[in-house]
Structures are given as structure tokens and as C-alpha cells.
Structure 1
Amino acid sequence: MATEIKAPSFPESVAEGTVATWHKKSGDSVERDELLVEIETDKVVLEVVAPEAGTLGDVLADEGDTVESEQVLGKLDAGAARSGGDKQDKADNESSDDKTSKATQSDDGEADDASAGEKPTGAAGGGGKQHEVKAPSFPESVQEGTVASWNKQVGEAVKRDEVLAEIETDKVVLEVVAPADGALAEIKAETDSQVESEEVLALFTEGAGGGGEESGEKASSAETDTHGESDDSADENLDGKILAPAARRMVAENDLDVSRIEGTGKGGRILKEDVQKALKDGSAAKSGGKSKQADTSTAAAAKAAPAPVEGERPEKRVPMSRLRQTVAKRLVEAQQTAAMLTTYNEVDMSAIMALRAEYKERFQKAHDVKLGFMSFFVKAASEALKRFPDVNASIDGNEIVYHGYQDISVAVSTDRGLVVPVLRDTDQMQMADVEKTIGDFGKRARDGKLGIDEMQGGTFTITNGGIFGSLLSTPILNPPQTAILGMHKIQERPMAVDGQVEIRPMMYLAISYDHRMIDGKDAVQFLVAIKELLEDPARLLLNV
């Protein structure tokens, strides 16, 4: 009996995907959970695996075809086992693999002849069979990726499936893992180089590593003229210290004092992680200056700025990343398809700031996380959403979907663009859970480690432009949601309190909403409810 192979369930905001790559063709035998096909959406690339062992039958959606959520892509014949010829081929292949394995393990000079069908044996670490480490298969719409970092160096011993390198595309960061126990024999694509789908990134030797590091580096150095810079030649000696390429780039971008950075790599080599640690604690800032970590907004702008161009009126064109194109497309669609309005109010943050100052140390000791302002806003928004279900609803065609739960999306800014992971069932979350989850989202968003399931299904969004210094702004809807709350900078202003002028820490709030779904009265009252809950936090406990 044939089993249907279906596309995954796409998030509400994703209408369709594209069949990027079939890894099996009709008639091929597959094992359970083996990768069959990749579907590309505007956010990430989704993998479709075999639900059971069998033979791939009809392929109903070819590469390049546009498919919808849970559309049938093909058929899997579960009962169609491998034919006798297939079994014989497999047996022959296994026999050949066994012979090859034995040949590579022997010290006999005939081993090379016995393994003639395999890649030539590498010299690094005196090892066995050599593999080509290739970039992952990119979907059709992704032309190339960038080698973000090498986590292992030539000659360094690694275990099977340990991460060797990270490739950054316009959607996600892909990991390249070791095919076996061994070591890198040669790196062919240095950090920051552009690579294509399945391009050879490095050569890997089984069984190498440890003492073979030195020989591996020498072998790589000897081939510098034909293969580019080796690991050592790619490193740079600054102030008597050796820097890995990624570390060198970060030092230059942040104008750091290399002499103040302690290297943890072999031989005292400064790695990317060492520079990141120095940035975090501010120990490597040059005298009289400040590190890039000291000003996050300046940091983001400096990293995004292209290299200076010579001339009196310089210009430089750089391609817009695919993630940036997708964000731009969705924002324009939101303005074109929704009747979007924005209403404003302001909140006195005195009560929350006093509460936070009184309990922040005990909160951190109890929950091992800092008490921030975002958890107050998330809890206040959750309570307000219960009172105003229209604000928590979404529009699906000609239907209104009322959600009986509160899943709040939190906008996170990264160097690659804006992502919006979702906090689930926020009305049931404790404030410590909110702070921990948001902190985890931020870290993994910057590392490109968020999954598509973590960015789908939100019912309401909160964005905080105040961390960048924004005093007032108009947030744009995150379809199919019908409302978004904008937080802003806390600024002391003179306020009339009980007939007296007092200086109070004030924050402007903005809520943009889809007037097709939400009436102005409800939007204003929703924002007033949030204001009242924040100005008197006891209301959050008393549910009044």
C-alpha cells in the first residue's frame, strides 16, 4: 500500500513553498527517516523524510514546483522491497566497502591499489581514507553561502558528527559536520569566502589528528600556492600573538587591543570565542576608546556599513540579502493589505522601576536570570488580550480566527535581519520563564539557530525600539496578526501629579492595528488596559 509523502505544515504567514531538491528519485529504495526532499519557504528550508522504509514511487511535485502546506509530494511504496538486483548491488557495495576498509587499515603498500575506488589517502596525521568535506545542498533560490567560521583547524582531532564549519545563507546557518573520526587535512574555503552548493570546503582524513596536526599544517603550507592560504598562513601575528581569521576580523571591526586578549587555542592562538569573551567583559578595549560591545546600535551600524569607497562622491552597491528581501516584501504586503492605524499612549514606569530595584537581586538569585522590563509587558499584554479577544484574533481570508490562547511574538534584531520568535501560552508563564526564554531566543537568533517552529503561530507581537533609543515610532503589523505593541525609550519628563509638577520616568506606547478587524475604541481601551496594569503591577496579581 502506497504512503503519501506530504509537505510540512507551513506557518500561518507562509502561503506556499518551493520544491528545492529531491534527494531520491522514483524507484530508489529508502530507509525510515531518510531525507527525501527539501522544501524552501521564505523563512527556512524544511526537510521531508521518509515515514517508513520502502521504495519511492511517483513523484508528484518536481523541483521548482510551488506547493502548499501538507500538499502531497509523492508516493512511497512500503511493500515494494528492494529487488533481487538491488539486493545484489547492495551486497556488492557492502563487500566492496569491507574490502576497502580492510585495505586502508593495513600497512601493506598494496592498500592504495585495493582502495583505488576511494579518494586518495591523505598525509595529515598518518591516516586512512580521505573524504571531501562539502557544503550542504542549497535550495534553488539560494545561489551561494558564506563560510561563517571554522570550528576546527587543520590537524586538530575531531569526532564523527562534530561541527567542523558553519555556512551562512540568507535564511539559516548550516552546520558542516565531520564524516568520521579523524582530522582536517586541508581547508580549501577560508572564513568569509563565498561557496556554492556542494562545493568542496576541505579535505578530511579518517583516523588523523593529535600528533598529526603538525604534519597536516605542513602539508597545507606546502600547497599554499595552488590552494590559497593555509591555516597558519591565514592566521596573523599581531603584537606577538597568533589570531585565527575570524578572530582577526572581529578584532579589526571592534578596534580591540590584541595584547589584552588571552588565547585559548593551541599554542596560545586567539580564537573567535576568545574575542567574543573579551567583547562581552570589555577587557580588550583600547585606552581612551570603547569596544563595539559598549554601544550595540553603533555596533550594528558599523558591521552593516560597506567598506569605504575612494573618491569625492563615493557610492557602493551591495546585493540585498534574501532575508532582507523577504522582510521588505512582508512589510509592504502588510501595509497594502491591512487597514492599519496606530494609537498612542504613555505609561509612568515609576512603579515597575521601584519594584524591579527592590527585588532584582533576589529575583536573580532565585531564578538565575535578570529581571527586565519585557516580562512585565508580556504579562500585561497577556491579561489585556484576554479582555479584548479581537486584538488577539487573526484574519484568514474572509474568516476571523479567535484564539483561545496567548502566543506573543517578540521581535529580535540580528545582524542578518529581523526575526520574530514566539512565546507560547504566555498567560501561564512565570516572569522568570519569560526572561529566560527571551534571552535564549536572542542568543540563538544571533547565532542563526532558531527553528521555523519557533517563529510561527503567534497571535500578537511586541517590539521594543527603546533599546536602540527610539522615543516614538509606528510599528508595522506582523500578518496574519491584527495588532502589534511598540515599546520605546524610558525618558524622564515633567508630569502633573495631583496638581504638582513631578519628574517621572515615562515611556510612549504605540499599538498598530488592523481596522478591518479591530475598532478604534477597542484598540484605545486595550492600550489603556496595558497602561493601567503597568502603572499598578499589583493588578497583574489580583487580575483586576
Structure 2
Amino acid sequence: MSTEIRVPTLGESVTEATVATWFKKPGDAVAVDEMLCELETDKVTVEVPATAAGVMGEIVAAEGETVGVDALLATIVEGSGAASAPAKATKAPAKAEGSGDASVDVMVPTLGESVTEATVSTWFKKVGDTVAQDEMLCELETDKVSVEVPAPAAGILSEIVAAEGTTVGASAKLAVIGGATTSASDTPVTAASATSVGGKDVEDAPSAKKAMAEAGVSRDAVTGSGRDGRIMKDDVAKALAATPAPSAAPASVPRAPVTADDASREERVKMTRLRQTIARRLKESQNTAAMLTTYNEVDMTEVMALRKEYKELFEKKHGTKLGFMSFFTKACCHALREVPEVNAEIDGTDVVYKNFVHMGIAAGTPSGLVVPVIRDADSMSFADIEKAIAEKGKRARDGKLSMAEMQGGTFTISNGGVYGSLMSSPILNPPQSGILGMHKIQDRPMAINGQVVIRPMMYLALSYDHRIVDGKGAVTFLVRVKEALEDPRRLLMDL
């Protein structure tokens, strides 16, 4: 007897979905309510559970296929081989001789402020494998970062509770280590997977080894940033970014070509979870907020002169360079006090006004745009702001920002000028209601007191949520920023 697995009701007006991921393959044992696959619609992700226990039969709709409501996805053969418990919870064989008697739960580590879930992307170990303490077991992906989960104890991986593709909560159990001991010495690291550094055997992160193998990169070509020189996944990415791309044909599978010549010049690469999240959040921002952009321009003469006059003394005293970002941060904090709705957010039918400024500073990284947050920027000095921007910018480029460091921002500054952008309309970073776009400083002829003079000018753009920020407030904000930058003494006088 077999049971059909069909597409569930997807919601009002939603008529089709795409099969994103199969968590089971034909022949796998499944339990009732165990997740079989994940469907994606234009609005939500839907997980499809098993309606009966048994063995996975035929998969009718493969990954990437578009299916309608009630379409047949797969079949489950009931009876012989039926699972009484989820297959992902398969027990390991008897513990190895000499291992301890205790079992230790492997839990989801702290993911960061307001982050409530993650997706299990890769298991580096399988049930029955021997693991060392601190050896990487699996990798989780959240909206912004990848988190590698180390073994809390040495022993045998006796149970995997959350299979690859499973979405888990912030305090969920991932696996169980049986015969656990508190010392990694019970499970020595093999020479093939470790490198001696300073007399110590160092186990590279499994995700890093996998990335090096896929890219054909030698371990000697990568500098490890982890403990004791351990190579992490981000270290491989940085090494690849610094190495010219090989001329060999890409390993990814091209889509159906128009011509044979086009096929050899195309490459299909699956979007990272970070890039998918960026795409989703930007589109959600456009769909949710009544976004509008207003523009102005600022004469940077006074700021540039002030910076030139004091930059050496500033760096000598504070140990950090004086840049333009501290002036813009100060100017925005000054303007936000006068126009508090730009620093507010909508929560249902309420407007939440923030009596503080947690300033987001957008930073480009090899993996995509991230926005580290400088907390209480309104109460910081120029030197404190410059130090915070430099430190968080470096951590962003190195891929070492924690989730907590990218949460809670109330306003954002994005500087496209560093890439040469002359004019753009930045997209809101929800749930924030305002974002300032900086641009390239360019000499332009300006009429000053009836005379045409050359001045270093920058276009400013403020994108704002028109649901709570009126045009008057948006224009006033930009004018105040302009005034503060064109006469920086106003910041000292609080004018």
C-alpha cells in the first residue's frame, strides 16, 4: 500500500509553488510528520510533512519544478521498512571501547539578538562517526551569517535530530553525542586532516576543507584566522578573492543555452543564503514601505578644510584617522533629534520613536552588503565614531561580525561614493524608516555670491517611509544635514 504526498493548500490567491529542497530520497525510511520537502511560493516557504510512516517511494516533482495546488509530489510505501521514529534520529552502533558512558546534547548556539531560527545547511559527520571535542559537526545558516557548531565533547555521534535543510529554533537540539568524554584526546585527529602548528595538531573547519577541495586550493595558500591558526570557511573565501580566477571551465551547470557558443560562456551558481536574504529583504522593503527618495547637495569645502587642518593631530592623539563618516554620522544624529520620525519605526498600528540613535553603516563584503550597527552613536565623540567604524568595517570584510552587531539599528548611512556613484536611491533597511545615501565628491561650477566658483560637491539622497515621514520632515532632515556639513561649527553649537 502506498500513500500519495501532494502539494498542500498554499494560501489565498497562491496557485503554484517551486520545489526547493528534498530532505529525503527514494528508499529512505520516514516517520509520520517528518519533513519531506520544502516548497517556495512568492510569499512564503512551506514544508511538506509525511502523512504516513514507511519508505520513500517515487519522487514525482524534482527540485526546481513548479507545481500547482494538490499536485502529486511523491509516494510513501507503507508497511515493510516503516519507520517508527524519524530516520534522521537513527541510532549509532554500540559505543567505541574506552568511551565514556554519558551522552551530551548538541544544541543550537546563540545566534544573536532577535534571531530566532537557522537552517541546517551541512552535516560534516554522520551517525556512528567518532568525533573529537571542538571538532566541527555541522554548519547553520541564518539570514546574515554562517555558524559552525563544534562538538561539546568527544565521543560518538549517536543521533542526528535536525537533518540538512531543517529549520531549527534558537534553543533546539541538533544531535546527541554518546559515550561522551570531556577531553578531545580520546579521539585523536588524523594526520590527513590536521596540520601541526607550534607543536599542536590543528583541525581545520570541515566547511573550509570542503571549500578548498572544491576550489582546488592548497592549504598552504590559505591563512587561518581561527584558534591556533585553524582555517575557517571565510579564510578560503578571502584567499580565493585574492587569487585570479582559473581559466578552466566552471563546474556549475549552465541553463539551457540558445546556442552552443553561449553555453560555454554561461555559468549558473546557486545563490548563497545571505544573497537570498538580501534579495528577499530588499523586495519586502519595497513591497511594505511607501518608499520615497528626496535629494539635496552639499558643499564639502568646510569639512574637507577642517579635516585637512586637524587630521594629523587627530590621528596622533586618538590613534585613528579622521574621515568623512564621523561628520556625516554626527550631522545625521543632529538632524534626527529635530525630525524624530525619521528615526522611528512602525509596529502594527503604533509608531515607535527611538530616543537614541543606533547608526547602521552599510559595508560591502565579498559575500554581499552587511550593515554593522554603532550603538548610541548620538552620544559618541568624533574619535569614538571613527574607531567604531574602522573596527566594524574590518570585522565585516573579514566575515567576523556577530549577528548581535548587525541588529537593532534605527537609521542607516550608505556610502556609494567609495565605488564612484554620483547619484542613487538607497533602499530602506526595514524596519527602519530612513536611510541616507552618500555619493562621490566631485568638483562642479557653483554660483556663489554672484560668482562662478569650483566647489567639491556631493549629492545626498534620503529614502524614507512615507507612511510615517512626511515630505516636509524628509526635506527638513536633509537641509539640517547639509547645514551641519557646510558649517561644521553648528554641530558644536547644537544649531
TM-score strictly above 0.5: yes
Displacement after TM superposition at 1:23 (Å): 10
Q: Structure 2 residue aligned with 1:529, among 459, 464, 480? A: 480
Specify whether residues 40 and 460 from structure 1 end up closer, same or farther in structure 2 by C-alpha distance, changes over 3 A only: same
Matched, 1:166 2:232: yes
Matched, 1:355 2:306: yes
Residues 36-55 of structure 1: per-residue CA shift (max 9 Å, x gap): 98653121234789999xxx
Q: Aligned to 1:390, what secondary structure does the other structure show?
A: helix
Contact 1:151 1:165 in 2 (8 A): no
Residues 438-480 of structure 1: per-residue CA shift (max 9 Å, x gap): 2222322222222222211111110111122211111111111
1:472 & 1:332 partners in 2: Cα distance? 21
1:489 & 1:352 partners in 2: Cα distance? 15
Q: Aligned to 1:489, what secondary structure does the other structure show?
A: coil
Matched, 1:401 2:334: no
Q: Structure 2 residue aligned with 1:44, among 125, 145, 151? A: 145
Contact 2:202 2:230 in 1 (8 A): no
Displacement after TM superposition at 1:324 (Å): 2.7
Specify whether residues 75 and 514 from structure 1 end up closer, same or farther in structure 2 by C-alpha distance, changes over 3 A only: same
Match runs of 1:104-143 below 5 Å: 133=203, 135-136=205-206
Aligned length: 372
Specify whether residues 347 and 541 from structure 1 end up closer, same or farther in structure 2 by C-alpha distance, changes over 3 A only: same
1:371 & 1:492 partners in 2: Cα distance? 21
Corresponding residue number in structure 2 for 1:66? 167
Corresponding residue number in structure 1 for 2:23? none
Match runs of 1:307-322 below 5 Å: 315-322=265-272
Corresponding residue number in structure 2 for 1:475? 426
Corresponding residue number in structure 1 for 2:336? 385
Residues 497-522 of structure 1: per-residue CA shift (max 9 Å, x gap): 23333322211110001111211111
Corresponding residue number in structure 1 for 2:398? 447
What amino acid is the match of 1:45?
S
2:192 & 2:381 partners in 1: Cα distance? 57
Contact 1:60 1:73 in 2 (8 A): no
1:441 & 1:537 partners in 2: Cα distance? 25
Displacement after TM superposition at 1:419 (Å): 1.4
1:17 & 1:400 partners in 2: Cα distance? 29
Displacement after TM superposition at 1:400 (Å): 2.7
Q: CA RMSD in A?
A: 5.2
Contact 1:59 1:73 in 2 (8 A): no
Corresponding residue number in structure 1 for 2:251? none
Residues 43-69 of structure 1: per-residue CA shift (max 9 Å, x gap): 1234789999xxxxx99977644355x
Corresponding residue number in structure 2 for 1:79? none
Q: Aligned to 2:480, what secondary structure does the other structure show?
A: helix
What amino acid is the match of 1:162?
D
Displacement after TM superposition at 1:119 (Å): 5.5
1:61 & 1:492 partners in 2: Cα distance? 58
1:168 & 1:479 partners in 2: Cα distance? 27
Displacement after TM superposition at 1:347 (Å): 1.0
Match runs of 1:271-286 below 5 Å: none
2:349 & 2:214 partners in 1: Cα distance? 40
Displacement after TM superposition at 1:320 (Å): 4.7
Contact 2:205 2:231 in 1 (8 A): no
Contact 2:112 2:404 in 1 (8 A): no
Corresponding residue number in structure 1 for 2:365? 414
What amino acid is the match of 2:172?
L
- Fraction of identical pairs, as percent: 52
Match runs of 1:221-232 below 5 Å: none
Contact 1:335 1:476 in 2 (8 A): yes
Q: Aligned to 1:391, what secondary structure does the other structure show?
A: helix
Matched, 1:374 2:325: yes
Gapped regions of structure 2 (runs ≥ 5): 1-104, 128-132, 154-158, 247-259
Matched, 1:509 2:463: no
- Normalising by structure 2, we get a TM-score of 0.60
2:263 & 2:227 partners in 1: Cα distance? 50
Normalized per residue, the structure richer in helix is 1
1:64 & 1:531 partners in 2: Cα distance? 49
What amino acid is the match of 2:141?
E
Residues 77-122 of structure 1: per-residue CA shift (max 9 Å, x gap): xxxxx9xx96xx969x99x95xx99xxxxxxxxxxxxxxxx95899
Contact 1:495 1:501 in 2 (8 A): yes
Q: Structure 2 residue aligned with 1:150, among 219, 222, 243? A: 219
Contact 2:303 2:486 in 1 (8 A): yes
Contact 2:124 2:206 in 1 (8 A): no
- Normalising by structure 1, we get a TM-score of 0.55
Displacement after TM superposition at 1:359 (Å): 1.2
Contact 1:8 1:48 in 2 (8 A): no
Q: Aligned to 2:458, what secondary structure does the other structure show?
A: strand
Contact 1:8 1:46 in 2 (8 A): no
Displacement after TM superposition at 1:330 (Å): 1.9
Corresponding residue number in structure 1 for 2:489? 538
Specify whether residues 90 and 34 from structure 1 end up closer, same or farther in structure 2 by C-alpha distance, changes over 3 A only: closer
Corresponding residue number in structure 2 for 1:115? none
Specify whether residues 534 and 313 from structure 1 end up closer, same or farther in structure 2 by C-alpha distance, changes over 3 A only: same
Displacement after TM superposition at 1:491 (Å): 1.7
Matched, 1:497 2:448: yes
What amino acid is the match of 2:269?
P
Specify whether residues 313 and 131 from structure 1 end up closer, same or farther in structure 2 by C-alpha distance, changes over 3 A only: closer
Match runs of 1:257-268 below 5 Å: none
1:25 & 1:351 partners in 2: Cα distance? 63
Specify whether residues 491 and 394 from structure 1 end up closer, same or farther in structure 2 by C-alpha distance, changes over 3 A only: same
1:506 & 1:429 partners in 2: Cα distance? 27
Q: Aligned to 1:334, what secondary structure does the other structure show?
A: helix
Gapped regions of structure 1 (runs ≥ 5): 27-31, 53-57, 77-81, 102-117, 175-190, 193-245, 254-309
1:315 & 1:42 partners in 2: Cα distance? 31
What amino acid is the match of 2:206?
P
